Amino acid sequence: MKVKELLFGSISIDGETYDKDVIIDRGQIKKRRKSASKKYRNRFGHTPLSVDENIPWDCKRLIVGMGHSSSLPVMDEVFAEATCRNVEIITMSTPEATQHINDPDTNLILHLTC
C-alpha cells in the first residue's frame, strides 16, 4: 500500500481518497464505524476509540493513529483488551502511523482529524 497524500480530514491510499477514519485490516481498507463509541463522547469531549467498535484484532501489532495532533482518546479498556489478546498496541500521530502501513502483522486505525 502506498499513502500518496495525507491532509487534515483525508488520506489517499493506492489512488483512492478517503475522507473518514479508516481501518487497515490485513491489507484491506475499511471505514471506521465509530457509532458504537459515540455514547462515550460526553465523557471525553470527543468520540473515543472503545472496545465497542469492530477493532481489527487479528494481528500481532495494532497501531492507532490518533490524528494529526494525537487528540483521539483511546479508552483504557482497549489497552486491556489488547493485552488479553496478546496484541501489542501502539498509539502515535496519524502521520507517524502511516509510515507503518506496510509493516507485517500490523493493523492500523487511522483518525484523520484532530
Q: 74-85 pLDDT, tens per residue?
A: 999 999 999 999
pTM for this prediction: 0.96
Q: Which residues of 15-45 are buried (b: 16+ CB within 10 A; e: fewer)?
A: eeebeebbbbbeeebeebebeebeebeeebe
| Residue 66 binned pLDDT confidence (cut-offs 50, 70, 90) | very high
102: left (phi over 0), alpha (psi -120 to 50) or beta: alpha
Q: Which domains does the chain have, with CATH numbers?
A: 20-110 (3.40.1230.10)
